[in-house]
Amino acid sequence: MNIKTGFYQGCVLFLLFITGCSSNAQDVSTQQALEKQFQESMSGVILDGFFKTNDAGNELRKEKYSITKVSKLAGEYWIFQARIQYGDRDVTLPIPVTIKWAGDTPVLTLTDATIPGLGTFTTRVLFYGGQYVGVWRHGEHTGQHFGRIIPQDSLGKE
């Protein structure tokens, strides 16, 4: 190999290295922006929707989650300050969750998590475009739920 070829190969490797580092830095800043947007868009909202079970008589039933604040703890761990209302249940508490990302879409995950006053749940909930949809398991019961994400300050303006 001559000096000229070695020089060009070195330049190409350097550019590939710099491009890779720059791309990684962009990925981190993009992810941070997505997380900030998620935190802001999910604080002070109502998840207003329906759920059903996969049991017999699986009619749609009303559910409502009032989310006061969503905060990132570290890594994939977040806290939802929430009031949960469904059936005859009505509790307010902090709920630790894991948020996984499918590209630009947050997916809330709980696996065999005990929520005081409600029981043990496994769930996956996807949030996108002012809507949510998910699947859940509570004991031997399974089902789906879905609905709208409504900013609390817009209630009464609809």
The tens digit of pLDDT for each residue in 94-136 reads 999 999 999 999 999 999 999 888 889 999 999 999 999 999 9
Q: If you ran DSSP here, which 8-state letter would residue 122 be given? A: E
The domain tally of the chain equals: 1
3-state secondary structure of 97: strand
pTM recorded for the entire structure: 0.77
Distance in angstroms (rounded) separating the CA atoms of residues 94 and 155: 23
The residue segments making up the domain with residue 78 are 38-154
Distance in angstroms (rounded) separating the CA atoms of residues 107 and 133: 10
Tens of pLDDT along 15-55? 445 445 444 555 778 999 999 999 999 999 999 999 999 98
Whether residue 7 is contained in a domain is answered as no
Cβ atoms within 10 A of the Cβ of 14, count?
Answer: 10
Distance in angstroms (rounded) separating the CA atoms of residues 52 and 113: 20
Indicate which CATH number applies to the domain containing 97: 2.40.128.120
Whether residue 78 is contained in a domain is answered as yes
Pair of tokens at residue 142:
């399974």
